[in-house]
Structure 1
Amino acid sequence: MTPVTCFRGRTVALFGLGGSGLSTARALIAGGAEVIAWDDGAAGLEKAKAAGIPTENLREIDFGRLDALILSPGVPLTHPVPHWTVDKAKAAGVEIIGDIELFCRERRAIDPEAPFIAITGTNGKSTTTALIGHILRSAGLDAQIGGNIGTPILDLAPPSSGRVHVIECSSYQIDLAPTLDPTVGVMLNLSEDHLERHGTMENYAAIKERLVAGAGTAVIGIDDAMSSAIADRLERKGGAVMRISQHLPVADGVYAEGQSLIYAQNGATRQVASLKDIGSLRGAHNAQNAAAATAACLALGLSPETIARGLQTFPGLAHRMEQVGNLGRVLFVNDSKATNADSTYQALASFPSDVYWILGGKPKTGGILSLAQFFPRVTKAFLIGEAAEAFAGQLGSVPHEIVGTMDRAVERSAEEAGKSGGREPVVLLSPACASFDQYPNFEVRGDHFRRLVQELINANRAESPL
């Protein structure tokens, strides 16, 4: 845990008692703050009570006695409408912040030079966060990995010069961190997402920009126009910028050239690593993730040779182009994290042909029409969930079957892929949808897919003993 001492002896309200909210309350109490916590749900209040966290209905207290309102990132700050606690705090002139901001303040108080890498982007941030952490740990460093990727930031060990914090930041978290100042800030890309919480694409991009604007070194992907403009803008202001790209050469930074990662510095270039045989980093989108991780580690002082060794041993992340296993020649890939078309775009781009695509769920704006250029790679699609009928209409001439459930999708895709004459047919779960019509989250959806595939593989082994 990182005790938050910057509010010692002061009174703060905390709203939202999910995982990060409970973590934040514990850290504030450990640091000597008086915490008043609340949640609109009974489950969060019960967990707080069990953890010994004081609770009181924030509707009934005088916000004028507070020094801050700590808001969990899932609680609306501005859109579609501010949460009622936000209105009360603003009326009382009380600052509204989140757990990332508390960490930043504690870091400045304890050890402002403690290395801190923060990562954001519409897509790829979890893989990049895990990859940076893996490279650092492979180099023998104490890498604390957390934030939006899983472990709340204040549950990690405190900042120190011998410890690197590698933190994934969502736009919601950045919005609650006005003084975010990482040693290295990474912004991978920008595409339309979370507009229900930020109103416009311009607002969303401006929030993401804060992470790199406050960084000692900004690592920025330039493969979309908005991110490229941010890199130019920060450089004009005198910031240290390393550009990254999955296909464009850069003068200072890291880019992919075919399956090679190239480090460019002051006009000179050298190959850092080859991604050719790293299955966990398959595809152009992962080339960008690897370029970002490489640039961040270079900015922190690691050698290219050390980084290359770490890249080679990266196991990948669950639900992000996760290679679940093989049934004969058929490769099964779990990309359940692909909850929008942009993420699925990257998955389909990773396989040139013979794809047996499982997709569907709770649809997002735009459907799958933006993926039409990859439809010729799809041998057959298997449609599940709420979006099945609509997606069937958007697939055009692509052979498809509405199967409804994951069980049936795995069964039918395995049958069809097993008949393929291709060298390595791929059953790809990349839903391009949220999971909430049939599953509580994308992890449960991906776990179900993985379990079904393993059952198929195990059944095949039992029928065909060596």
Structure 2
Amino acid sequence: MIRITSFAGKRVAVFGLGASGIATAKALVAGGADVVCCDDNASGLQAAADAGLATADLKEANWAVYAALILAPGVPLTHPEPHWTVRAARLAGVEVIGDLELFVRERRLQDFDVPLIAITGTNGKSTTTALVGHLLREAGRDVEVGGNIGTAMLALEPFAPGRHYVIECSSYQIDLAPGIDASVGVLLNVTPDHLDRHGTIENYAAVKAQLVLQAKHAVIGVDDNYCRAIAAKLIDAKGAEGVLRISSRPEAVCDVGVEDGDIVLRRDGWESTIAGLAGIGSLRGAHNAENACAAAAALLSLPQPLKPTEIDAGLKTFPGLAHRMEQLGRVGQTLFVNDSKATNADSTEKALLSFRGNIFWILGGKPKAGGITELVPYFDRVAKAYLIGEATEDFAATLEEGKVKFERCGTLEAATKAAARDAAASLNGASAEPVVLLSPACASFDQFRNFEVRGDAFRAQVAALPGFSAFRSGA
């Protein structure tokens, strides 16, 4: 736990008692604050009570006695309207911040040599965060990884000289952290998302931008208009020395990019190879090449940067993240890939583009607006599709119109068996290795509690297939 001492001897309200809220309250108490917890849900209040934390109904509070309201990231700050606690706190002149702000304030207060790599973006931030943490560990660095991925940031190990922190930051967390000052800030991309919480795409992009605008060094993807504008603004304000622009597109103007399967650094008219990506299955696809470029650029920007040889060696052992283009193993020549995290067509597009063809595609679930119509240009990569869940008939119509063979399977178990059967039968004359790909382009809630449960079910079903051979970590 990171003890938060900046509010020692002061009364602080914590609202929103999920995992990060409970971790925040504990960290404040450990640092000497008088903490009062509240939640709109009984389950949150019970979780606080079980943790030995004081609770109260803040609707009856005298806000003048509070030094701050610490808001959980999931609680609305501005849109569609401020939460009632936010309105009450602001009316009393009480600052409203989140756990990320507490983290960076304590980091400054303790004044250790604690490098902070903060990573955000609409897509790819979890993979990039995990990859940066992996590369640091493989290079022998002391590293803690958390935030919006895995462990709540204030539940990480305490600050210590030389310890590196790699934090995934959502837009909600950044919005509650006006003082964020990362050693390296990484902004991967900005596409429309969470507009119910930020009002407009412009507001959303402005929130994301704060992470890199206030960082000592910035790594920015330049494959969308918003990030290109942010990079240009930062270069104009601070000069190009502290900014690395990244892209996986050959035509992009960038500082760290991909050329002939290698990550390359381009500066002042010269170019050097940082690491190779060829044959790394856990980083398959252009989107993962971009994530790898971002990770490499971030590690080159540290006060004590990693060597290219260390980055190259670490990439080769990266196991990837569960449910995100996760390579499970093979039955004969058939590769099985778990991309259960692909809950919309945009995510599935990246999966389909990661293979040359001969894809046996399992899809369906609880459909989202637009269905899979935007995936029609990639249907020529699909050998056959296997439909599950509520989306079956809608998706069947799109597949039929796009002239893709399909089978209505109903359940994931039936689809897995059917896809494995057909993939094995496709080997004669196939131009590419057969791939059984679970990339549903749908939410899971019609048949599974969440995408993790769906992915775990697929993994278990694949493991039960005769002749299945699982990959070792990093294969």
TM-score interval, normalised by the smaller of the two chains:
over 0.9
- Residues 431 and 326 from structure 1, CA distance in 2 versus in 1: closer, same or farther, beyond 3 angstroms? same
Distance (Å, rounded) in 2 between the aligned partners of 1:382 and 1:449? 13
Consecutive aligned runs of 4 or more in structure 1 exceeding 3 Å deviation: 248-252, 457-461
Distance (Å, rounded) in 2 between the aligned partners of 1:416 and 1:458? 15
The one-letter code sitting in structure 2 at the alignment partner of 1:172 is: Y
- Residues 191 and 365 from structure 1, CA distance in 2 versus in 1: closer, same or farther, beyond 3 angstroms? farther
- Residues 194 and 383 from structure 1, CA distance in 2 versus in 1: closer, same or farther, beyond 3 angstroms? farther
User: Equivalent residue for 2:275?
Assistant: 273
**Cα distance, 1:359 vs structure 2:** 1.7
Matching of residue 371 in structure 1 with residue 380 in structure 2: no
Tell whether the 8 Å contact from 1:362 to 1:437 is kept in structure 2 after alignment: yes
User: Equivalent residue for 1:316?
Assistant: 320
User: Equivalent residue for 2:132?
Assistant: 132
User: Equivalent residue for 1:414?
Assistant: 420
- Residues 94 and 402 from structure 1, CA distance in 2 versus in 1: closer, same or farther, beyond 3 angstroms? farther
User: Equivalent residue for 2:58?
Assistant: 58
The one-letter code sitting in structure 2 at the alignment partner of 1:451 is: A
User: Equivalent residue for 1:381?
Assistant: 385
Please state whether the residue corresponding to 1:35 is helix, strand or coil.
strand
Tell whether the 8 Å contact from 1:251 to 1:265 is kept in structure 2 after alignment: no
**Cα distance, 1:57 vs structure 2:** 1.3
**Cα distance, 1:148 vs structure 2:** 0.8
Tell whether the 8 Å contact from 2:330 to 2:468 is kept in structure 1 after alignment: no
Please state whether the residue corresponding to 1:416 is helix, strand or coil.
helix
Q: Which aligned pairs between 1:207-218 and structure 2 lie closer than 5 A?
A: 207-218=207-218
**Cα distance, 1:192 vs structure 2:** 1.7
Distance (Å, rounded) in 1 between the aligned partners of 2:92 and 2:362? 51
TM-score (normalised: structure 1): 0.95
User: Equivalent residue for 2:473?
Assistant: none
1:18-52 deviations in Å (ceiling 9; x for gaps):
11111001000000111110122222222211111
Residue range with higher mean Cα deviation, 379-388 or 4-13: 379-388
Distance (Å, rounded) in 1 between the aligned partners of 2:120 and 2:466? 36
- Residues 216 and 209 from structure 1, CA distance in 2 versus in 1: closer, same or farther, beyond 3 angstroms? same
**Cα distance, 1:430 vs structure 2:** 1.2
Please state whether the residue corresponding to 1:292 is helix, strand or coil.
helix
Distance (Å, rounded) in 2 between the aligned partners of 1:460 and 1:127? 25
Identity of counterpart residues, as a percentage? 58
The one-letter code sitting in structure 2 at the alignment partner of 1:196 is: D
- Residues 136 and 281 from structure 1, CA distance in 2 versus in 1: closer, same or farther, beyond 3 angstroms? same
Residue range with higher mean Cα deviation, 414-423 or 16-25: 414-423
**Cα distance, 1:373 vs structure 2:** 1.7
User: Equivalent residue for 1:76?
Assistant: 76
**Cα distance, 1:80 vs structure 2:** 2.4
Please state whether the residue corresponding to 2:464 is helix, strand or coil.
helix
- Residues 111 and 436 from structure 1, CA distance in 2 versus in 1: closer, same or farther, beyond 3 angstroms? farther
Please state whether the residue corresponding to 1:263 is helix, strand or coil.
strand
**Cα distance, 1:113 vs structure 2:** 4.5
Distance (Å, rounded) in 2 between the aligned partners of 1:241 and 1:217? 6
User: Equivalent residue for 1:464?
Assistant: none
**Cα distance, 1:441 vs structure 2:** 2.0
1:304-334 deviations in Å (ceiling 9; x for gaps):
1111111111111111111111112211101
- Residues 460 and 333 from structure 1, CA distance in 2 versus in 1: closer, same or farther, beyond 3 angstroms? closer
User: Equivalent residue for 1:94?
Assistant: 94
Tell whether the 8 Å contact from 1:48 to 1:54 is kept in structure 2 after alignment: yes
Matching of residue 302 in structure 1 with residue 311 in structure 2: no
**Cα distance, 1:298 vs structure 2:** 0.6
The one-letter code sitting in structure 2 at the alignment partner of 1:318 is: A
- Residues 380 and 161 from structure 1, CA distance in 2 versus in 1: closer, same or farther, beyond 3 angstroms? same
Tell whether the 8 Å contact from 2:340 to 2:455 is kept in structure 1 after alignment: yes
Tell whether the 8 Å contact from 1:326 to 1:457 is kept in structure 2 after alignment: no
Matching of residue 123 in structure 1 with residue 106 in structure 2: no
Tell whether the 8 Å contact from 2:423 to 2:434 is kept in structure 1 after alignment: yes
Residue range with higher mean Cα deviation, 382-391 or 36-45: 382-391
**Cα distance, 1:458 vs structure 2:** 6.3
**Cα distance, 1:409 vs structure 2:** 1.9
Residue range with higher mean Cα deviation, 99-108 or 74-83: 74-83
Distance (Å, rounded) in 2 between the aligned partners of 1:23 and 1:338? 29
Residue range with higher mean Cα deviation, 78-87 or 299-308: 78-87
- Residues 365 and 340 from structure 1, CA distance in 2 versus in 1: closer, same or farther, beyond 3 angstroms? same
Matching of residue 165 in structure 1 with residue 174 in structure 2: no
Residue range with higher mean Cα deviation, 122-131 or 234-243: 234-243
- Residues 139 and 286 from structure 1, CA distance in 2 versus in 1: closer, same or farther, beyond 3 angstroms? same
Tell whether the 8 Å contact from 1:111 to 1:160 is kept in structure 2 after alignment: no
The one-letter code sitting in structure 2 at the alignment partner of 1:32 is: G
TM-score (normalised: structure 2): 0.93
Distance (Å, rounded) in 1 between the aligned partners of 2:53 and 2:203? 35
Tell whether the 8 Å contact from 2:462 to 2:468 is kept in structure 1 after alignment: no
Q: Which aligned pairs between 1:179-190 and structure 2 lie closer than 5 A?
A: 179-190=179-190
Tell whether the 8 Å contact from 2:223 to 2:252 is kept in structure 1 after alignment: no
Distance (Å, rounded) in 2 between the aligned partners of 1:51 and 1:262? 49
Please state whether the residue corresponding to 1:203 is helix, strand or coil.
helix
Tell whether the 8 Å contact from 2:332 to 2:467 is kept in structure 1 after alignment: no
The one-letter code sitting in structure 1 at the alignment partner of 2:292 is: A
Residue range with higher mean Cα deviation, 429-438 or 182-191: 429-438
Matching of residue 438 in structure 1 with residue 442 in structure 2: no
Distance (Å, rounded) in 1 between the aligned partners of 2:282 and 2:381? 21
Distance (Å, rounded) in 1 between the aligned partners of 2:180 and 2:150? 19
- Residues 47 and 457 from structure 1, CA distance in 2 versus in 1: closer, same or farther, beyond 3 angstroms? farther
Cα RMSD, aligned residues only:
1.8
- Residues 348 and 460 from structure 1, CA distance in 2 versus in 1: closer, same or farther, beyond 3 angstroms? closer
Please state whether the residue corresponding to 1:237 is helix, strand or coil.
helix
Structure 2 unmatched ranges of 5 or more: 471-475
1:410-459 deviations in Å (ceiling 9; x for gaps):
12222222221235211111122222333222211111111111112468
User: Equivalent residue for 1:43?
Assistant: 43
**Cα distance, 1:102 vs structure 2:** 0.6
- Residues 80 and 268 from structure 1, CA distance in 2 versus in 1: closer, same or farther, beyond 3 angstroms? same
Tell whether the 8 Å contact from 1:261 to 1:275 is kept in structure 2 after alignment: yes
Size of the aligned set, in residue pairs, is 461
Within the candidate set 239, 257, 263, 2:265 is matched to 263
The one-letter code sitting in structure 1 at the alignment partner of 2:276 is: S
Structure 1 unmatched ranges of 5 or more: 462-466
Distance (Å, rounded) in 1 between the aligned partners of 2:191 and 2:371? 15
The one-letter code sitting in structure 1 at the alignment partner of 2:422 is: E
1:229-248 deviations in Å (ceiling 9; x for gaps):
11111111115210111024
Tell whether the 8 Å contact from 1:319 to 1:335 is kept in structure 2 after alignment: yes
The one-letter code sitting in structure 2 at the alignment partner of 1:384 is: I
Tell whether the 8 Å contact from 2:222 to 2:254 is kept in structure 1 after alignment: no
Tell whether the 8 Å contact from 1:243 to 1:250 is kept in structure 2 after alignment: no
Tell whether the 8 Å contact from 1:336 to 1:429 is kept in structure 2 after alignment: yes
Within the candidate set 387, 392, 397, 1:393 is matched to 397
User: Equivalent residue for 2:352?
Assistant: 348
Tell whether the 8 Å contact from 2:331 to 2:467 is kept in structure 1 after alignment: no
